[in-house]
Structure 1
Amino acid sequence: MDEKRKEYDHLKEQLKKALDEKKEQEQEWDSIQQEIFDKETDYLSGNSSSQYGTIVKGFDGFGKHTHDSSNAFSDKDRIFSLSSALFVKQQEGIQEDE
């Protein structure tokens, strides 16, 4: 009986470590997804790119001499951050049932 208790305690400790590691990885994944979203927002809004366009929206303003800074974009323009269904749900405030 003592040996079974030791095995149980060992398995319980392994499970606890695995759950802690899973939680850390999920937090890291959330952080990476948020970083992708933020960088994509920055790129699409024109803060880090040319005022003439982006690879997503095109470069229609490249040959024009106007400096229209209205780089409006919609969620349809998001290529990377909306590719994760879980991230989209998190952004909408919907919690996935665990």
Structure 2
Amino acid sequence: MKIKQKIVDIFVNSTHDWNQAMHNAIERKVFEGYNNTFPNGMQDPEQTEERIESMRTFYYQRMMNTASLLLTAVSLTVAFIALMVAIIAIHYA
């Protein structure tokens, strides 16, 4: 097995529990939202499935946007700290 495949396998195996927990949380939110919006359900099963799928898509997109914003904020903070350390190092060198 190639080293790239081993690295990918390790990454996937180590993040599986987090991904599963996130998936379960999103599914709970989808069905909570559906039950809040339609307390008596919908009459047409096909329409119900379409609505749940659109809600699921919305939550996954929202989660990805939130994760991207958090990653950006952390990256910006690390870059700012690195810049400050570099400025201090240059000033006292």
TM-score by length of 1: 0.46
Structure whose CA Rg is larger: 1
Whichever structure has more helix as a proportion of its residues is: 2
